[in-house]
Amino acid sequence: VAELSKLTPTDLEAVRRANVDHHLELLAAAAERGARAVGFGELFPGPYFALHEDPVWFGLAEDAADGPTVRAVSAAAREHGAVVVAPLYELAPDGRRFNTAVVIDSDGAVLGRFRKVHVPSGTNETATFCETFYYDRSDGAPQSSPALVSTNPYFPVFRTAVGNVGVSTCYDRHFEGSVRSLAAGGAELVFSPAVTFGRRSRRMWDLEFAVDAARHGVAIAGSNRAGAEPPWDVEFFGQSHVVTPDGRCDDRSDHPELVIADVDLAALRDDDSGWNLPRDARPDAYS
């Protein structure tokens, strides 16, 4: 790990370029297989560096509106006619850093961004995560976007070519207010990119999305890294999947690095469960 501290800006740019190029290949493969909305993994332009504290990784942070990753992904989204959620390491104009997902429409337009709201720091039986060392929690800074359909600045929802899209990144998924806020803002499809590991996280991975999808009437696409990255060699359990209020969707992908699901967003609006949770909620009874 000590050798990583010797990385130069040129090295970091090579790391970014290699990861972005690989994901653009995956985007092309997904679009070729009919995908109209594609979500990349959390902090996809680099390794998951938050397993230790080293300021060298600050050099991977970039502009979330017009940085090299956004420019490359925007061009590819336009080329393939796909909506893309691109989670990257943001360097804000004021010098602060955020874990940010950029939402790009199928014509390549950058619609806006979601900054991770809840940022963890701690240790489980597998490893230590040091995220608060690298980036701040979302500041809820307002955005000006004609595609914005929600009013909650912490959980923005954007109108895209496929429907209303929101994001809940990794640790955000554990908080009941995250998907509730996105659904209240009009989200139909929620992307939840993650880098997660450990026994409890693995157990909850199969539970939380299913409950939130049914409770809030949305489709959720959860992505997690798979395998391990040297030199840390922490095992990420993968298990990316898509779930709707009716349950887990079949993965129809024939590509080992892609999960592809058919989701009928119109069916979310035509729910025949008999439930009307917003109407029947009793906030006066909750503590």
| Average pLDDT, consecutive stretches of 10 residues, N- to C-terminus, the chain (287 residues) | 84 97 98 98 98 97 98 98 98 98 98 98 95 98 96 98 98 97 98 97 97 97 97 96 97 98 93 89 92
Cα(234)–Cα(158) distance, integer angstroms: 34
* Burial category of 269 from C-beta neighbours within 10 Å (exposed 0-12, middle 13-18, buried 19 and up): exposed
Find out whether 107 and 75 touch, Cβ atoms under 8 Å: no
The residues, any chain, with a CB within 8 Å of residue 40's CB and separated by 6 or more, are 23, 26, 84, 85, 86, 87, 193, 223
> Look-up: residue for tokens 């490893």?
127
CA atoms within 13 A on the CB side of 92: 18
Alpha-carbon dihedral 258, 213, 118, 132, rounded to 10 degrees: -20
3-state secondary structure (DSSP) of residue 67:
coil
pLDDT at 271: 86
pLDDT at 173: 98
pLDDT at 38: 98
pLDDT at 1: 57
